[in-house]
Structure 1
Amino acid sequence: MTAATNPADALASELIRRILDESPLKAASFIVTIYGDVVEPRGGIAWIGNLIETCADVGISETLVRTAVSRLVAAGQLTGEREGRRSYYRLSRSAGSEFAAAARVLFSAPEDSGWQFVHVTGPAVEDAMQALKRAGHARLNDRLAVGPARAVTATVPALVFRAEPPQDPKALQEFTSEYWDLTVHAEAYAVFLAQFGALLSPAASVSFSPSMALTIRLLLVHRFRAVHLHDPRLPSGALPDDWPGKAARQLFARAYRQLSPAADAHVARTFVTASGPLPASTAATDLRLEMLAGEAF
């Protein structure tokens, strides 16, 4: 069914239009989402025609897709291959590692890690501090940062001191509010909940066509990735009692699992490589669904 004849698709199309009006897509970023959600767990290579068709469903033109793919190749994220008259693009080794790391954050259950102080010892102080910031740390002075205990410090030359948080939750929340501005992240989660809560209400999402299910799932991943990967993802005890990140993650998990049977069937029917169609599922896609199962409530 098309959106014109499928009432669920028609409603979704209108809600998607509103979402895109509020937060316009960039072609390169959306193509990264397609690779992360569809292509990477199925081998990392896809026909450019599939990228063009999938992006058209969210209003991104063929010209913008081809330009964005060229830029991703120039940036070392994709490599091109030709088979006859068709062009295929594969994730580079470094991009594959980055995608796998991002997938672990998106699909794994949140880890309530401890705390650490990190004193940078190497000469590239600013590069190290930026890496720590991306891992959720707050800068205290030129070389010292504090944040959740994460493996990023393995790649940063530093002295690491484990810290015991105070037993008083209020004191920990006050400490957090002094060094992290969580307002912007809370607002981003609230927007995500408002947009996708309406799009994926039980009444609206019972009969999406397979192509619409994939479009919605890609937008879901795209928006949640943008919000969640920028969140410092602090331990739960440091967060406000009404923190919207928990509800957003539950919505993401529930919606992703709900949309996946139809979306994956559409992938298997339409996405191809030079050696044949992409599979509907793989061990990697099954693992993602399993990891989300405990949060989809």
Structure 2
Amino acid sequence: MSSGATTGRGGALVRLALGQGPLKAASFIVTVYGDVVEPRGGVVWIGSLIETCAAVGISETLVRTAVSRLVAAGQLSGEREGRRSFYRLTAPARAEFSAAARLLFGPPEPADWHFVHLTGSAPEEAMQALERAGHARLGPRLAVGCRPLPPSLTRGVVFRAGIVQGEDDLGAFAREHWALEPHAAAYRGFLDRFGALTGELEGGLRPDPATCLAVRLLLVHQFRLVVLRDPRLPAAALPADWPGAAARRLFCDLYLRLSPEADRHVARRFVTADGALPEASEATLRRLALLRETA
């Protein structure tokens, strides 16, 4: 970790939440915006990002490089007030973040089964985009899924579908067309890592506000990566020991435990051109209420 990383027992919690692999700066900054900045207005001083990323071992140089790349990718736009640089989410990024927030913090969405017949001259490229979005390939131009279609899909015929018979065989259909084990393994890894962290908290450890925020961000970051890759099939299509529901309960429980101190730290350390970010907003309070219904 960098010299700015959290130390002591709080540092041990952060290292436990980090796991073994290094963080990608741009992806983690996306998590910071989604969890902290977007529900409080969408703009923040780069110094707040640098301080927050230092707590998880990401250097200032990597933060500045990542922010520049996010600007070039059209996800952030910059503005200056005196000597300070502030960055806000662009309109397309805000729409994308809103969809991700519904997935992370909202109730489970009902399955929306559909078939997609690809048209156009590059079906393989479009098919790979569909597979990344959780759909299963049935043929060179035909796919099935129940997740939203990727925004990049501009050519294709979409048929809405419903299960009219054979629901008992839906699990066999899913096993044939989706590789579910990697997703189950990702959920089990999440449960192992953050279940151990829960044990530390239940053992009496009371981390400081900065540590609470760092750990909550790592919790959201890891859960987001797992959930966004999940094909999110309905329960009838999943194995009986599917770990997704247990992972969601753990996510909800830990998020609620960490949030009081984490949000206090946000109000103390996150800065906009108009002053500090608020400790809470209508959006953050709604998130907590939704999580309490699941926990």
Q: Same fold (TM over 0.5)?
A: yes
TM superposition shift of 1:98? 1.0
Q: Which amino acid aligns with 2:99?
A: A
**Equivalent AA in structure 2 for residue 41 of structure 1:** P
Matching residue's letter, 2:15: R
Q: What's the secondary structure of 1:24's corresponding residue?
A: coil
Q: CA offset at residue 11 of structure 1?
A: 3.6
Q: 1:259: Cα distance to partner?
A: 1.1
- Structural mapping, 1:75-224, within 5 Å: 75-122=73-120, 125-126=123-124, 128-148=126-146, 150=148, 156=154, 157-164=156-163, 166-169=165-168, 171-201=169-199, 202-204=201-203, 207-224=206-223
Question: What letter corresponds to residue 231 of structure 1 in structure 2?
Answer: D
1:73 touches 1:80 (CA, 8 Å); kept in 2?
yes
Q: Which amino acid aligns with 1:226?
A: L
CA contact (8 A) 1:199 1:205 kept: no
Contact 1:165/1:172 (<8 A) preserved: no
Q: Deviations over 1:98-151 (max 9, x none)?
A: 111111111111123142222234555345434433442101112211111646
SS in 1 for 2:117: strand
Q: CA deviation at 1:261?
A: 1.2
Letter in 1 for 2:180: L
* Secondary structure, aligned partner of 1:22: coil
Deviates most, 146-155 or 183-192: 146-155
The letter of the residue matching 1:37 is D
CA distance in structure 1 between the partners assigned to 2:220 and 2:151 by the alignment:
27
Runs (5+) with no aligned partner, structure 1: 1-5
CA distance in 2, matches of 1:288, 1:158: 35
Asked if residue 61 in structure 1 is aligned to residue 32 in structure 2, the reply is no
Cα pair distance change 1:111/1:154, threshold 3 Å: farther
Which residue in 2 is equivalent to 1:72? 70
Q: 1:150 to 1:77 in 2, by over 3 A?
A: closer
Select the residue among 5, 28, 31 that pairs with 2:29. Answer: 31
Alpha-carbon offset, residue 16 of structure 1? 2.8
Q: CA RMSD in A?
A: 2.3
Distance (whole Å) between structure 1 residues aligned to residue 150 and residue 66 of structure 2: 29
Per-residue deviation at 1:95? 1.1
TM-score, normalised to structure 1's length? Answer: 0.89
Cα deviation per residue 1:40-70 (whole Å; 9 max; x = unaligned)? 1111100010001001101111111111111
* CA–CA distance in structure 2, aligned partners of residues 68 and 109 of structure 1: 32
Q: Give, as a single letter, the amino acid of the residue that structure 2 aligns with 1:94.
A: P
Alignment of 1:206-245 (within 5 A): 207-245=206-244
Once residues 60 and 216 of structure 2 are traced to their aligned partners in structure 1, the CA distance between those partners, rounded to angstroms, is: 21
| Alignment correspondent of 1:278 | 277
Structure 2, unpaired ranges of 5+: 1-5
Asked if the contact 1:46–1:90 (Cα under 8 Å) also holds between the matched residues in 2, the reply is yes
Shift of 1:209: 1.3
